[in-house]
Amino acid sequence: MSKPLERYQKLGLKESLPRIHRYPLACKELSFILRGAYKKIPKNLQSLIFQDTLTAFRLLPEMQTRNAVLAAHLLLQSVEATLPKQKKNAAVTEYKNAMVAHKRRTKARQEENVSGSTQLPQDVLVHIFSFLDMQSLVSVGRVCWLWNIAASENNLWQAQYTTFFGNSDNDAMIKGRQIGRLVEDEGGYTLFWREAFKRAYLGGWVSLG
């Protein structure tokens, strides 16, 4: 075994790459080796370093940290500056695929977190949302469809209407008839308060979510 190859293997980069806390440092080490020594080392070691570089990019989707992404990008820059065309193209393609997968996994985890937070009973969500101001109520209604249902609860918007325009039930009912947003039930007519609020507050020009 040649001394350069032996020294490289002692670095343990191949073993460090799959470990989340060691991944950034391993990528940086690979980057420094590519820039500083790649063209001077034996062909067999060049091949090993190239394979470890591909491995680093393939493992990137598993590394959900900003430091990992920055380290992988640093490695990419060294690849583009050092490797011959064929190997460079292969490594760049691997990096691009890894970044796409990384973004998808990040988005999926974010959606899982949001989904997990919406497992509260609907009446509990409505109660929580009752403490929000109008702008916040609109914002939470855009988070996901479950929150949108809770944030559209008629009683919430009746409270918002009362806060902004006073407790004018008759006035609201008249406006409701004018815009055709009344529904008949066993107790008579029920106004869609969200629509009444929107028309009164925004003049019918801007949508509330």
CA torsion sign, 17 to 23 to 24 to 26? negative
Say what the pLDDT of residue 35 is: 92
Distance set, CA 8 to CA 1, 44, 128 (Å): 11, 12, 58
Which of the four pLDDT bands, split at 50, 70 and 90, describes residue 144?
A: confident
- pLDDT mean over 97-123: 74
Tokens 């695929």 label which residue? 97
Instruction: Give per-residue pLDDT as tens, 114-142.
Output: 555 546 777 888 889 999 988 898 888 88
- pLDDT mean over 92-109: 88
* CB-based burial label for 108 (10 Å; 0-12, 13-18, 19+): exposed
Token readout for 116 is 């997990």
